[in-house]
Homo-oligomer: A and B are copies of this chain.
Amino acid sequence: MNGEIIAIGDEIISGKVLNRNSNFSARSLFHAGYLVTRITSVGDDIEAIKEVLRGAISRSRFVILTGGLGPTPDDITNEAVAVALGLRLVENAALRAVLDSIPRDEYPLTETQKRKLTHLPEGAEVLSPQARTSGYMLRVGECLVFCLPGVPEELEELIRGQVLPRLKALLPSDLVILQKTFKVFGLKEPEVQHRLDAIEFDPNRVLIGYYPNFPEVHVTITTKGKNGREAQECFENVKCSVKEMLGDFVVAEDDETLEARVGALLLERGRVLATAESCTGGLISSMITRVPGSSQWFDRGVVTYSNQAKMDLLGVREETLRRHGAVSQETCTEMVEGLRQRTRAHYFIAVTGIAGPTGGTPEKPVGTVYIGTGTPEGTSAKRYQFKGDRIRIQLITAETALDLVRRSLILS
């Protein structure tokens, strides 16, 4: 049950936008047991679309085509599909009625734009007739062609609500795909690979992939099988071995994040966290508060960017700042203690460092960061030397700090 994806748009081939639609489509199909063998992007060019679409149909049982269904002049997918398949464009009365029912001030369309939106290749089955830009399906011999809008929210809803159910009904897949991702932090990719080299498994049935995803390395185990039970058994064995070899360097699994893991551990223990950030400027608290329900285990954060803020909000002593500087173990320790004295939280993170590009010195070059943690057992602050640009230094600092809390929680 192999298929292909075709993304249409000058904005993709000129590098203006990332092709997230193809990525979402491919991932959704893969997890439902459908293999995508090729993803092609072409511009708003009828000849190019025609050639690519014909090629894909000749090789595949299904084709997902995205983009170019809107009302503007550069939207030419309907025309290109009609030309490629030798079909006429005919008005879809239901779609026309929907567009006519939308108040003009809500979605102002000219008659030309309406004609464009409602004239579809003959035989098109509209996927979601109530939507403004709905997408449609065509049957071309043995192949199902889905034409979908390029607006990500519309596309995602149609893939989930229309494309997958129709594929399952019309082209049931006998393939079971099982996948597990371990998110690893604190080991370099060759170290991860080295640990996993020791595991014996059948490479014809199981695949292990390594994907650097700064600052993490993601290890993905994939099993494809015709038989659910057989696939499951072999998958479970490899999964356990991989987990054992990676040990406590696994900070999260699958769609979970490190910060959600930290939250789950705090919640289990009835503990609360507070943060004090200088060089990460709120990134840590922002990561934390992206997690739904974080108000149950996160009390507050302070972003003490200036020295004055460090004194006002954390009681860091002026003398400490003068003698040791804002980026020092002493200041970092006082930041943790400031949080401890001023809040009712149980775990504390404090970071201060030089994220660059300026501000470095020979003794404290760009990337010098102190990370302090406070737990019910005590306080510690340690110096780190990170590499990379400002954004990467902020990211790895945040991840390291959260991982320190995770590690102290799993030991507690």
Contact A281 B292 (CB under 8 A): no
Q: Is A23 at the interface (CB under 8 A from chain B)?
A: yes
Contact B203 A73 (CB under 8 A): yes
Residues of B within 8 A of A23 (CB): 15, 17-19
Q: How far apart are the CA atoms of A298 and B193 in the complex, in Å?
A: 43
**Which single residue of chain B is at the shortest CB-CB distance from A106?**
B190
Q: How far apart are the CA atoms of A42 and B282 in the complex, in Å?
A: 40
Q: Is A46 at the interface (CB under 8 A from chain B)?
A: no
Chain B CB count within 10 A is highest, among A13, A52, A284, A394, for A13
- Size of chain A's interface in residues, with CB distance under 8 A? 89
Q: Is A38 at the interface (CB under 8 A from chain B)?
A: yes
Contact B303 A289 (CB under 8 A): yes
Contact A37 B43 (CB under 8 A): yes
**Which single residue of chain B is at the shortest CB-CB distance from A392?**
B153
Q: How far apart are the CA atoms of A193 and B283 in the complex, in Å?
A: 35
Q: Is A12 at the interface (CB under 8 A from chain B)?
A: yes
Contact B29 A24 (CB under 8 A): no
Contact A10 B209 (CB under 8 A): yes
- By a beta-carbon cutoff of 8 Å, the part of chain A in contact with chain B is 10-20, 22-30, 35-43, 45, 48, 52, 72-74, 107-108, 151, 190, 193-194, 203, 207, 209-213, 220, 222, 275, 277, 279-286, 288-290, 292-295, 298-306, 308-309, 312-313, 342-344, 356-358, 390-391, 394
